[in-house]
Amino acid sequence: MSHASASLALPTMPLSDRVRMLAAILLVVVISEAIGSVTFAVGPGKIILQPMLWAIFIGAIVAAFGQRLPAGVGIDKAMQTRISGYLQYALLPFLAKLGLMVGGALPQVREAGWALVFQEFGHFFGTMAIGLPLALLLGIKREAIGATFSVGREPSLAIIGERYGMNSPEGRGVMAEYITGTVIGALFVALMAGFITSLNIFDPRSLAMGAGVGSGSMMAAGVGAIASQQTPEMAHQVAALAAAANLLTTVVGVYFTLFISLPTTIFLYGKLEPVLGRFSRGKADESVVDNSVSEDVPAHSTKMGFGDRLTAYVICGLFALVGNRLGYNVPFADALPGMGIIILLVVITDLILRVIPKLPAVFVLSLIAMTAGCPGVLPYSDQIIAMVGKVNFLPFTTVILAMAGLSILKDLPAFRKLGWKIVVVSLAANAGTFLGATMIAEFFH
């Protein structure tokens, strides 16, 4: 176990520090959910600023203010590191909810047709084909793996967090991609989708599938831009196909990125970096963070004991219920049984991984959750689905981004060194995933 890993072991954390940390996370979640969603028009599309976006900004503000408070009262770098440790485990209840949703939607996914199935290849190959070479040409090293193996949404954070840890170069890359996509991704997709739609090159239904990049905010922005240029009947089809593609990309994409995208990106990085990296090596080596190879050890088994992991699961679940109440007016008591089921699935996965530690946590959890969410598979499945249905999807992301915002200041030196480069790479990856999926969907349409 490395020193960095040991620093995330929570038994040495005083109770007062734990309380202060949890209070900071809860404060950010409450404020973000209280603000709610804000929608405004940008050209032909709409931009939706959801609570998860507020959470990362408010979290960073709270952390910045907390750094100025006296020791024992504020949020120092050590606490930010511990919050980052919680983050990678807080992602697992989110993935459990995702898997449960997919289990119930399997019939609709099957009816979507081959175009919907194969467009997933476009989402990957477009992202990697454009993003990875560009990142290497700009002098980005192992951060390029995390930044370009996918569009860097929540499941990608979980995959990289489990394999490398969020404090690794790969972890910094995927987090930088996530933040860039969250902040300006929706605006960029709206403008790009609206412009490409106006060219009348692609069928609107193909464009709709391309908009399902696995991000709710990006999908909403893309759909608004595409549908605003269609008849009412076609606009309805655009919305339905984009939602189905987004679901498929979000869920099937977990397995795709885990077993195809990430290994392929790692392989291509090894082949391309010696060739493309030399173009920027002379002047860029000093402008890129330390890129030493990370230990390829699952963070799941090295950074926290079972008790601390269980604490992270429960905290994420309870705070998501707060967001569920504020954002969706679902009484805490009504949603509590469903959240209990979600946490139980995560704990079962945790116990399985203690017996078979080499299995990927994301894969095991998604498989268990999909089985539990599929009607008729388990006893009392209808009751299970009904209870879990009272727990909405987005409050999990608010909690996750609250943790990300509170812990981001410790990584500011790394982000400063990546700077504008990661923004360019992120936008290129978003363009690649949209265009790649659209072209494949057009071919199979």
Contacts of 115 (CB under 8 A, 6+ apart): 205, 206, 209, 440, 441, 444, 445
CA distance 133 to 183: 23
Q: Helix (H) and strand (E) counts for the chain?
A: 21, 2
pLDDT, residue 85, reads: 81
Indicate the domain borders of the chain.
12-444
Listed residue (83, 106, 77, 94) closest to 24, CA to CA: 83
**pLDDT tens profile 19-74:** 888 999 999 999 999 998 787 666 666 566 778 878 888 998 988 888 777 766 77
Which of 107-111, 187-191, 311-315 reaches the highest mean pLDDT? 311-315
- Tokens 């909690």 belong to which residue? 399
Question: Is residue 296 pLDDT above 50, yes or no?
Answer: no
User: What are φ and ψ of residue 69, in 5° steps?
Assistant: -85, 160
CA distance 217 to 206: 19
- Tokens 């009904």 belong to which residue? 386
CA distance 195 to 434: 13
Minimum mean pLDDT range among 39-48, 67-76, 179-188, 211-220: 39-48
pLDDT, residue 202, reads: 93
b/e string for 52-80 if b means 16 or more Cβ within 10 A?
bbbbbbbbbebbeebeeeeeeebbbeebb
Contacts of 16 (CB under 8 A, 6+ apart): 72
CA distance 80 to 406: 6
Handedness of CA 162, 217, 247, 126 (dihedral sign): negative
**pLDDT greater at residue 182 or residue 166:** 166
CA angle 427, 431, 435 (to 5 degrees): 175
pLDDT, residue 162, reads: 82
What DSSP state is assigned to residue 10? G
Minimum mean pLDDT range among 153-157, 264-268, 394-398: 153-157
Q: Say if CB 81 and CB 232 are below 8 A apart.
A: no
Write the single-letter amino acid at 13.
M
Question: Is residue 398 pLDDT above 60, yes or no?
Answer: yes
pLDDT, residue 99, reads: 79
CA distance 24 to 312: 15
pLDDT, residue 285, reads: 42
Minimum mean pLDDT range among 4-13, 61-70, 435-444: 4-13
- Tokens 């990289």 belong to which residue? 160
Question: Is residue 290 pLDDT above 70, yes or no?
Answer: no
Average pLDDT over residues 154-163: 83
Provide long-range contacts, Cβ within 8 A and 24+ apart, for 196-201. Answer: 196/435, 196/438, 197/44, 197/225, 197/226, 197/229, 198/229
Listed residue (130, 123, 174) closest to 153, CA to CA: 174
Average pLDDT over residues 371-381: 85
Average pLDDT over residues 338-347: 96
In the chain, the percentage of residues whose pLDDT exceeds 70 is: 83
| DSSP output for 353-421 | HHHSTTS-HHHHHHHHHHHHHSTTTSTTHHHHHHHHTTS-SHHHHHHHHHHHHHHGGGGHHHHHHHTHH
Q: Say if CB 411 and CB 359 are below 8 A apart.
A: no
Minimum mean pLDDT range among 125-129, 218-222, 391-395, 437-441: 218-222
Question: Is residue 337 pLDDT above 60, yes or no?
Answer: yes
Burial of 427 (0-12, 13-18, 19+ CB in 10 A): buried
pLDDT, residue 185, reads: 75
b/e string for 13-36 if b means 16 or more Cβ within 10 A?
eeeebeebbbebbbebbbbbbebe
